[in-house]
A and B are shown apart, each in its own frame.
Chain A
Amino acid sequence: MNLGELSTIVVWGATTAYAIAFGAFAADLARRAEVASTKRVRHTTPVLAGALVSGGEASADVAEADADLDGLENDAADGPADPEAADDAPDGPDVADELPEYRPGKALGIAMSLTTLGLGLQLAGIVLRGLAAERIPWANLYEFLVVGTFVAVLTFRILCLRRDVRFLGAGVLGFSVVALGLGLTAFYMPAQGVEPALQSYWLVIHVTIAVIATGVFTVAVSASVLQLLKDAWEQGSPRLAHPRFRLLGQLPSVRSLEALAFRLNAVGFVLWTFTVMAGAVWAEHAWSRFWGWDPKEVWSFIVWVVYAAYLHARTTRGWSARAVAWFSIAGFAVLIFNLTGVNMLLGGKHTYSGISRSQG
């Protein structure tokens, strides 16, 4: 067995650990639902930022001071954003502070241990792969999926150190298991060197940042999805009437989820901006033009524009937090299409996946 094969086996191991961790996270969510239903609480935090300023004429103080702060930045635009967009509201409580009483059980402990184990295995798999191919191990779609999910899980794991966001585990790990499974089966490529066009430190920079951005966006979109679910549940959506959805009551408030998604999306956006720029520098070196509207470039641009729209939607008056969350989801959908669909359906010069139609 050579290093490349060993790497693949280790990645299979990581995937298995994540799959079990996913099960445990799901079990934990189910338990939260149970706790919630025995307590019979329907946790209805008001969504409005006004909740933080509990009514009365005295709140005018806050509103005034706040409007000042806001006015400095926002009055060339549409004025203060909708309170639901949450941006101009005073700082929200920390996510962890808002969790209603819930003592985590064994399942959560197991899930976290397996997540950490999986991260270790995955890191080993990535290093082995790099040694086997004698280059950085993220140059084709399989490797991209392995490293991307690694960053997503790592981002989640690091967030867990700072605040209790373990409720995101099922989402992040579920996504990672599917992505890794697809990588190991449908998109698998044995370890090998790269062609001369890819031998550049700009490749290292460009792809590394792209992978990290993807990982961060993944965690952000998980928060956005939970935000929408919780919001719908609080509005009494009949489709979420089943008692199992009471677990949504255990999650942080809609506003905190929105704030979390925003912070991560902001980081992701800066990273993505850098990705596109580094890609342009690389294209300038390798292909003699920094921008040529190659399908991959087009879709990277679209990803960037959609996330820019997301940031704008957040500060535009009249846009609800719910609408803004859909932008976050749309951005992520386009991002995933850019990673997969563009190579499979549209071809172009970016043939790194090894599965694209045309030869650059």
Chain B
Amino acid sequence: MATTTSPPASPPTLPRLGLRGAIRWVWRQLTSMRVALMLLMLLAVVAVPGSILPQRPQDAAAVARYLADNPDWGPLLDRLGFFDVYGSVWFSAVYLLLFVSLVGCILPRIGAHARAWRARPPRAPRRFDRFEVHETLSTEAGTDEVLAAAHRALRGGRRFRVEPGEEPGGARTLSAERGYFRETGNIVFHLALVGLLISVATGQLLHYRGQVLVVEGRGFANTPSAYDTFDAGSGVDTASLVPFTVELNSFTASFDSAGRPTFFEAAVSVTEPDQATRDTTIRVNRPLDAGGAKIYLAGNGYAPQLTVRDSDGNVAFEGPVPFLPQDASYRSRGVVKVPDVTSGDQIGLVGYLLPTAVITEDSAYSAYPQPGNPVLVLQVWRGDLGLDSGVPQNVYQLDTAGMAQVSDADGTPVTVVVPLGEEVELPGGLGTLSFDGLPRYVALDMRYDPSLGWVLAFALTALVGLAVSLFTPRRRVWLRVASDGERRTVEAAALARADDGGLAGEVERVLDAVRELGPWSQPDPDAAPTAAHDSEDVDEPR
């Protein structure tokens, strides 16, 4: 059995053990309770830095900022894995060791537990009076009657396993034991943790997820290229995703009088392969199921519908442009890139959408998230947008390297202000801009993870195993009946594992069954214990 019993005092004698001995020694250390405990504490400690430092999988931009702000130790931390703690070698090493230890610890216990299931309750100890819980009474009922009553009380409902016995002195005994499930629960709990780890790891391998921004009236198909960002585990064949499509019919948002959101709902039409199109909704806590994947409502905003005509009067741009909300009032920032002008400079527009605009001499802000008075406030750039360089660009950022801001005669940048439904001249003779509509968009998170059901199942199994393990009382009860002419002396003792407040009650219950049989009396508890049952062989281990 993989146990460690080496007391701390005896120094390890590695040299004489040889390689196999050394391996065995390491294994025994690893699977010891003491090392498991150390690894658990270590796991708690190594988890901490990930909550303090920015983490790349969660917020890559924050990591980049941190590195820029801390050029001295930032790169060192980076090399040591501190910006992806939960994927780092050292964090993985700790939990993998812990799980190796767990398996090495639990597997032998399964064997031991199986043997315990088959074993009978141990025979009655010689003397009961040394037990914390013990009691003696004297009754006129017959031995068989007493034993039968006690047997019934022990078995009835409480699932004691009962073993009758007879002692050389003629006394009859009952040995009873309950609470085998305590250890079962413990084993189930630990194994379920292993199952949990394996299913999470499998999920890492087989999952894929994508994010996409969808404007009202538009949709997307489930292919990697349709998503704005897409990543998949190494076990996923990205060419064979279930080809469902989702179309956003409308999006409803409501806010309370103070502008706090109260309700978001996206009405969508979903088409799965070989199925009729169905209309359904996505809400914040109610993802949509499609093609085995789940689609979550992750965000929302406005996508002003714009038309830009160039200086020649041709339509150079037409369509909705998503603006990203910057605050609770949905003051939203966006960029319009107009590369396809017939002649002259390309155009870039940068600025804000104010859904309920309040514009004064020196400030412009949005008073409410709903579109009460939508106004665009934009600055204008001209020149080369840099889109032909082949380097992918962020659609929410204007690369101004090849551009100049359009200013008026005294050098102050020109700001164009466009209310919804109006058309304005762009400065510098660049053309016109009209603000034709204000559809909303939603940001959707699509996630496919076939392991979720397993993760949940193992988590629940662990929970049940844990509760069974911690709350199942483990008890032994012994009864000895000695016949003394007219009367029977009935002794009972009980022992529990862990702190068990109900132990004395258990013995009472059994003795009550005996008391019901007929007249009984209780000997003086201070009287010397009966030693009549002493005999040679009782102490022998089984």
Residues on A lying within 8 angstroms of B by beta carbon are: 52-54, 58-62, 64-66, 68-70, 72-73, 75-79, 86-88, 90-94, 192-193, 195-197, 199-200, 202, 259, 262-263, 266, 269-270, 273-274, 277, 280-282, 284-295, 298-299, 301-302, 305-306, 308-309, 312-313, 315-319, 334, 342, 346, 348
Contacts and interface: CB of A to CB of B under 8 A. Distances in A.
B315 interface: no
B183 to A, nearest CB: 5
A71 to B, nearest CB: 8
Interface in B434-457: 445, 447, 452, 455-456
Interface in B474-497: 474, 476, 495-497
B145 to A, nearest CB: 27
Interface residues of B, number: 86
Interface of B: 1-5, 8, 32-34, 36-37, 40-41, 43-44, 47-48, 50-52, 55, 57-58, 85-86, 105-106, 108-109, 112-113, 116, 122, 125-127, 130-133, 182-183, 186, 200, 209, 256, 258, 260-264, 283-287, 294, 296, 298, 445, 447, 452, 455-456, 459-460, 462-463, 466-467, 470-471, 474, 476, 495-501, 503-504, 539, 541
A78 to B, nearest CB: 5
Contact of B495 (A69, A93, A291): A69
A93 B498 CA distance: 12
B133 A76 contact: no
List 6 A-B pairs, minimum CB-CB distance, nearest first: A259-B499, A76-B109, A288-B296, A298-B51, A61-B125, A200-B285
11 contacts: A62-B130, A72-B112, A76-B106, A78-B3, A78-B5, A87-B499, A90-B131, A193-B262, A270-B463, A282-B285, A305-B43
Given A87-B499, A196-B261, A73 B474 contact: yes
Given A75-B1, A77-B3, A70 B497 contact: yes
Given A288-B445, A295-B51, A65 B476 contact: yes
A161 to B, nearest CB: 14
Given A87-B498, A316-B34, A72 B113 contact: yes
B102 to A, nearest CB: 11
Given A61-B127, A288-B445, A312-B33, A76 B463 contact: no
Contact of A79 (B5, B8, B43, B116): B5
B172 to A, nearest CB: 19
Nearest to A349: B58
B459 A277 contact: yes
Contact of A293 (B1, B50, B113): B50
Contact of A91 (B132, B186, B460): B132
Contacts of B296: 286-288
Contacts of A273: 462-463, 466
Contacts of A199: 284-285
Contacts of B495: 62, 65-66, 69, 90-91
Contacts of A346: 51-52
Given A76-B105, A90-B495, A195 B260 contact: yes
A298 B182 CA distance: 30
A196 B264 contact: yes
B48 A76 contact: no
Given A76-B112, A91-B501, A196-B283, 7 more contacts: A277-B459, A284-B452, A293-B51, A298-B48, A298-B51, A315-B33, A316-B34
A8 B72 CA distance: 50
